[in-house]
Amino acid sequence: MTFFTVITRGLTRRPVRTGLTIVGIAIGIAAVVALVGISRGFETSWATGMKTRGTDLVVSNMGSALTPKPYPATVVDRITPLPHVAETCALLADLMSVETTDMMIVSGRQWGGFTWKNLHIIAGRMPHDAAERAVVLGQTAAEVLKKKVGDTLQLETEELPVVGIVDGGAIVENGSVILSLPLLQELTGNEGKINVIDLRVTPGTTKEELRQLCDQISALVPEARAVIAGEHVRDSQAYKIIRAMSWGTSLLAVLVGVLGVMNTMLMTVFERTQEICVLLAIGWKRSRIVRMILLESAMLGLIGGIGGVLIGIVGVKILVQTPAIRGLLEPDLNPQLLLSAVGIAVVVGVFSGLYPAWRSSRLTPSHALHG
């Protein structure tokens, strides 16, 4: 018998209570994994989306909304002469309710701009020209909307034919409805307005020069800010709120887990008072009692943490398949997040065990052994 046996015996003596406590932590940790994984996934999905488009800088005004504010298309003309600027592509992008879905990326792109070039036709064709009243769908968007080439898609007030299905190489691209800029401007009543400029710099531009260019553009164009692609989402107010909310909710869930473990460990210390006194009477050091209680609660945390990570992963996988957010993001469940979630659970366990352990170490061996 090892000391570990003593720990497991302490946990298995009340299997139902131990199980429920573990479930309690597991749910908290699952919430951490799901919420943080999704909010970070939102960020990384946009970053990879930008990268596959070949965008280095994004000029937009994220403000406090989830989508950037429109500004005059003439801003492009002020940016193109700047050093290091190789190419620009003006866009009008919006999150819109399209037919049966609640939220879908609708992306109107300057005809001939480089953001069209990474789209690979899987079925059908691209629009003939900027004037053709038609859309192409990213492959996920097509699945979610249940459309194939030849169907029509209701966008605002107009029925537009779906002429092609494309693979954009990234989740935000594949989840988008894509059409030419002037058409979307007209449909949404935003004539002459854009809200994003994707900017590509000349090869060999350093990160330092990229930052300088950002500053230059932001100074030159008061309507918008230039941010290195991928960072623009993280910078946005809306995303900050999402992130704060996901951490806040996670924290609450973890707090509930803490209370659960603390309650369980206190109960176990109370009901084992006599046994703890016996252990002290036969010579166990107080530090060993403390270690026993802390290891028991750490074990609760560890098992709950591992369980929570598994539940979280499964939960997120299910969640991103739901029509509401399908195609909007790919969860970011990197090993670091999963490990920190387990780590948080173990810390929660140890922390919750501190007071019960302290209580048990204060016992006098004779206390429960009279007679």
Q: Please, what is the minimum distance in Å from the beta carbon of residue 170 to another protein? A: 55
Task: Choose the binding region for another protein from 32-40, 102-110, 275-283, 334-342 (rule: CB under 8 A).
Answer: 275-283
**Which C-beta is closer to another protein: that of 103 or that of 278?**
278
Instruction: Work out how close the CB of 15 gets to another protein at its nearest, in angstroms, rounded to a whole number.
Output: 12
Give the residue with the Cβ less far from another protein, 12 or 97: 12
Q: Does 270 bind another protein (CB under 8 A)?
A: no
Contact assessment for residue 178 and residue 137, using Cβ atoms and an 8 Å cutoff:
yes
- Between 1 and 219, whose beta carbon lies closer to another protein? 1
Task: Tell me phi and psi for residue 167, to 5 degrees.
Answer: -110, 115
Residue 339, Cβ neighbours under 10 Å: how many? 12
Out of 167, 188, 284, 337, the residue judged to bind another protein by CB under 8 A? 284
Closest-CA residue to 265 (of 355, 345, 177, 198): 355
The residues in 13-42 that bind another protein, with binding defined as CB under 8 A, are 13
358 binds another protein (CB under 8 A): no
Q: Which is nearer to another protein, 81 or 283 (CB)?
A: 283
Q: With CB under 8 A, what is the number of residues at the site for another protein? A: 27
For the CA atoms of 352, 358, 364, 368, the dihedral, rounded to the nearest 10 degrees, stands at -10
Q: Which of 143, 148, 144, 199 is nearest to 135 (CA)?
A: 148
- Regarding 74 and contact with another protein (CB under 8 A), the answer is no
**339 lies in the binding site for another protein (CB under 8 A):** no
What is the sign of the dihedral through the CA atoms of 49, 53, 57 and 61?
negative
Contact status: 10 vs another protein (CB under 8 A): yes
CB of 25 to another protein, least distance (A): 23
Residues in Cβ contact with 190 at an 8 Å cutoff, skipping those fewer than 6 apart: 70, 92, 184
Query: At closest approach, how far in Å is the CB of 369 from another protein?
Result: 6
169 in contact with another protein (CB under 8 A): no
Chosen residue from 259, 285, 317, 343 binding another protein by CB under 8 A: 285
Min separation Cβ 278 and another protein, Å: 5
Q: Determine if 362 is a binding residue for another protein (CB under 8 A).
A: no
| DSSP bridge pairs for 176 | 105
- Asked if residue 146 binds another protein (CB under 8 A), the reply is no
125 binds another protein (CB under 8 A): no
First to last CA, the chain: 30
Instruction: State residue 132 phi and psi, 5-degree precision.
Output: -65, 130
Of 96, 280, 293, 344, the residue at the interface with another protein (CB under 8 A) is: 280
CA distance 86 to 74: 18
Strand partners, 165: 123, 137
271 near another protein (CB under 8 A): no
Closer to another protein at the Cβ: 88 or 361? 361
CB within 8 Å of 79: residues ≥ 6 apart: 59, 85, 88, 197, 199, 217, 220, 221
Both tokens assigned to 368: 């429960």
Which CB, 154 or 364, lies closer to another protein? Answer: 364
CB 173 within 8 A of CB 53: yes
3-class secondary structure, 319: helix
Task: Give contact residues for another protein (rule: CB under 8 A).
Answer: 1-3, 5-6, 9-10, 12-13, 274-275, 278-286, 288, 364-366, 369-371
